[in-house]
């Protein structure tokens, strides 16, 4: 049994949903389907989830012009329903649900989550009705009925372990089951959404729960690329990746697959295949537990911007017991999480995402480090980009760091930070964001363009 997830672009309009129908029809093992909310139909379009977030905000502030927020959502849904030629009673039901929410006394968080979930919930209903119209036995299954039990968390709902046993029962149901992605229910029955892009998480949870033979994740690219195509023209495709490699890549800017979505599939050892709804015959990218080592162990180069580093130096830091703890305690007390913390003998750098910091918080942290830790130097650097070169077996490969640093040098990019020690599967470089495109192109040439790769 396969669990198949279709992303926002795959359910963006009726034409896309028809492709989804054909993909489901083509393989009788595709039994459990998880869907996103309708995404962008073109570059300038707005995702339904974003429309719903605006609607949610308007509802929370009791905006008198609430109708003007409901209309764009209903217009998107109507277009899909009419073009799929399915019963329009569903539109009436969605409208009733929206009105019920507006009249409810849910907390602001619950209200927002309930609005956000309407996108996925409606998609799942549209698809199940459409499959039925094709003569396929299909039914919509609500996440509560499916057994997706979560706890709330400011960073997005988290699945509870008991869900997996409950989900296994889905195997007993016959026909195709269509489950909305992105949300679950707490033990007390409240709806809670995962973090943005969280339908991938639902797909993975369901695949783990039913112990699927494969989790297919349909999106709008043929495969995962070795590097972001906005930086390099026609980058090579990745055929097979390990979970660990994918985790590193999706952490640092590869948006093809949600980084939280790997864990459930990984825990159950379920292979994941990333495929393209617009080209379903392309083999896609497989994500597996183990793969045979290859000569070029680097599988991909990921990058992300929006980082700040705090540099702290103090003579004899290496001998001062508890220095690191005290530094991290300051971060903890100020409610800031950090991404990396490379260190030297007398110094340490803490790398933080900009989203974690405000100017005010920055000043407080710098001041506390200076006074409480009696540091010699404390400085802050903005506009950093992080580049991760990812691949199993990198640690054991001679000359790899040299190859990367030579490529960065050739691109006239100064390396502000290197971090190789901690991860078995990646090497990280911190550089000024301004040089990112040059850096990526040069690294890509060094690792993936054969002629160039040989000369380095
Ligand atoms: N619709 C949600 C979002 O836009 C979840 C998803 O598409 O996976 O974030």
Picking from 225, 304, 180, 207, the residue whose alpha carbon sits closest to that of residue 263 is 207
Give the contacts of 140 (CB within 8 A, at least 6 positions apart): 124, 125, 128, 178, 179, 180
Ligand 1 atom at shortest distance from the alpha carbon of 36: 7
Residue 456: what pLDDT? 44
Does ligand 1 have an atom closer than 6 angstroms to the CB of 181?
A: yes
Helix runs in 262-340, H state only = 262-268, 323-333
Across-strand partners of 415?
Answer: 431
Does ligand 1 have an atom closer than 6 angstroms to the CB of 441?
A: no
Give CA–CA dist 70/98, Å, rounded: 8
Does ligand 1 have an atom closer than 6 angstroms to the CB of 37?
A: yes
**Phi, psi angle pair for 389, to nearest 5°:** -100, 125
**Phi, psi angle pair for 124, to nearest 5°:** -65, -40
SS3 98: helix
Picking from 71, 88, 70, 69, the residue whose alpha carbon sits closest to that of residue 80 is 88
Asked if 252 and 265 touch (Cβ cutoff 8 Å), the reply is no
What is the mean pLDDT for each group of 10 consecutive residues in the chain (456 residues)? Answer: 97 98 97 98 96 98 97 98 96 97 96 98 98 98 98 94 96 97 97 96 98 97 89 92 88 72 93 96 94 82 94 95 96 94 92 93 96 96 94 86 94 91 83 96 92 50
Give CA–CA dist 135/226, Å, rounded: 40
Residue 307: what pLDDT? 95
Does ligand 1 have an atom closer than 6 angstroms to the CB of 197?
A: yes
DSSP string, 247-277: HHHHHTT-TTS-GGGHHHHHHHT--EEEEET
Residue 424: what pLDDT? 77
Task: Give the DSSP letter of residue 182.
Answer: S
* Count helices and strands in the chain by DSSP H and E runs: 15, 19
Give CA–CA dist 430/416, Å, rounded: 5
User: Could you tell me the pTM of the whole model?
Assistant: 0.86
Catalogue all structural domains in the chain, each as residue range(s) with its CATH number.
Answer: 2-288 (3.40.1160.10), 300-455 (3.30.2130.10)
Give CA–CA dist 357/335, Å, rounded: 9
Give CA–CA dist 384/381, Å, rounded: 7
Ligand 1 midpoint to CA 8 (Å): 7
pLDDT tens digits for 346-368?
999 999 999 999 999 999 999 99
For residue 139, the surrounding DSSP H or E stretch is strand 138-140
Residue 257: what pLDDT? 80
Distance of CA 224 to the CA centre of its chain: 13
Give the contacts of 332 (CB within 8 A, at least 6 positions apart): none
Does ligand 1 have an atom closer than 6 angstroms to the CB of 196?
A: yes
Distances (CA, A) of 248 to 244, 253, 392: 6, 9, 11
Task: Look up residue 139 and give its two tokens.
Answer: 């039914």
Ligand 1 midpoint to CA 241 (Å): 24
Ligand 1 atom at shortest distance from the alpha carbon of 50: 4
Residue 421: what pLDDT? 65
Helix runs in 334-448, H state only = 359-372, 400-410, 436-448
CB count in 10 Å sphere of residue 58: 19
Does ligand 1 have an atom closer than 6 angstroms to the CB of 8?
A: yes
Which residue among 34, 36, 156, 179 is best mutated to probe the pocket of ligand 1, counting the most ligand atoms within 8 A of its Cβ? 36
Asked if 214 and 288 touch (Cβ cutoff 8 Å), the reply is no
Task: Give the DSSP letter of residue 149.
Answer: B
Give the contacts of 289 (CB within 8 A, at least 6 positions apart): 242, 243, 266, 269, 271
Give CA–CA dist 313/350, Å, rounded: 11
For CA atoms 355, 359, 364, 366, give the dihedral sign: positive
Estimate the crossing angle of helix 436-448 against helix 400-410, to 10 degrees. 130
Picking from 26, 392, 72, the residue whose alpha carbon sits closest to that of residue 218 is 26
Give the contacts of 345 (CB within 8 A, at least 6 positions apart): 317, 318
Does ligand 1 have an atom closer than 6 angstroms to the CB of 49?
A: yes
Distances (CA, A) of 330 to 306, 333, 337, 361, 388: 22, 5, 11, 11, 27
Does ligand 1 have an atom closer than 6 angstroms to the CB of 38?
A: no
Does ligand 1 have an atom closer than 6 angstroms to the CB of 203?
A: no
pLDDT tens digits for 138-156?
999 999 999 999 999 988 9
Residue 292: what pLDDT? 81
SS3 175: coil
Residue 252: what pLDDT? 64
């Amino acid at each position: 049994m396969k669990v198949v997830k279709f992303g926002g672009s795959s359910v963006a309009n009726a034409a896309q949903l028809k492709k989804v129908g054909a993909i489901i029809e083509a393989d009788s093992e595709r039994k459990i389907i998880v869907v996103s909310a309708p995404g962008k139909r073109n570059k300038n379009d707005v995702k339904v989830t974003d429309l719903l977030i605006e609607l949610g905000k308007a509802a929370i502030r009791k905006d008198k012009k609430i109708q003007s927020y409901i209309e764009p959502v209903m217009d998107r849904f109507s277009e899909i329903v009419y073009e799929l030629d399915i019963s329009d009673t569903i539109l009436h039901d969605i409208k009733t649900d929206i009105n019920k929410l507006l009249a409810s006394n849910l907390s602001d968080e619950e209200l927002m989550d309930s609005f956000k979930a309407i996108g996925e919930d409606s998609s799942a209903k549209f698809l199940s009705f459409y499959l039925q119209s094709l003569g396929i036995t299909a039914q919509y299954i609500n996440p509560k009925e499916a057994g997706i039990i979560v706890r709330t968390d400011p960073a997005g709902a988290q699945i509870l372990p008991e869900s997996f046993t409950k989900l296994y029962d889905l195997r007993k149901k016959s026909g195709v089951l269509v489950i909305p992605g992105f949300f679950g229910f707490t033990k007390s029955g409240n709806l809670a959404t995962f973090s943005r892009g969280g339908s991938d998480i639902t797909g993975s949870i369901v695949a783990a729960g039913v112990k699927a033979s494969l989790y297919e994740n349909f999106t709008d690219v043929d495969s995962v690329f070795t590097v972001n195509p906005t930086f390099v023209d026609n980058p090579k495709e990745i055929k097979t990746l390990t979970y660990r490699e994918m985790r590193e890549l999706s952490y640092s800017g590869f948006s093809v697959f949600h980084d939280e979505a790997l864990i459930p599939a990984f825990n159950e050892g379920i292979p994941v295949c990333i495929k393209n709804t617009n080209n379903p015959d392309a083999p896609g990218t497989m994500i597996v537990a183990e793969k045979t080592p290859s000569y070029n162990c680097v599988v991909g180069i990921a990058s992300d911007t929006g980082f700040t580093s705090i540099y702290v130096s103090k003579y004899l830091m290496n001998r001062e017991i508890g220095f690191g703890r005290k530094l991290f305690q300051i971060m903890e007390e100020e409610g800031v999480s950090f991404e990396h913390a490379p260190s030297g003998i007398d110094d340490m750098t803490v790398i933080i995402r900009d989203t974690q910091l405000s100017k005010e918080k920055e000043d407080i942290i710098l001041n506390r480090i200076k006074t409480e830790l009696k540091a010699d130097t404390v400085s802050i650097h903005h506009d950093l980009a992080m580049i991760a070169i990812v691949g199993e077996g990198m640690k054991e490969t001679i000359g790899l760091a040299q190859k990367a640093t030579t490529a960065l040098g050739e691109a006239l990019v100064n390396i502000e930070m290197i971090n190789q020690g901690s991860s078995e599967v990646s090497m990280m470089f911190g550089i000024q964001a301004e040089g990112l495109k040059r850096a990526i192109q040069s690294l890509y040439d060094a690792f993936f363009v054969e002629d160039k790769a040989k000369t380095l």
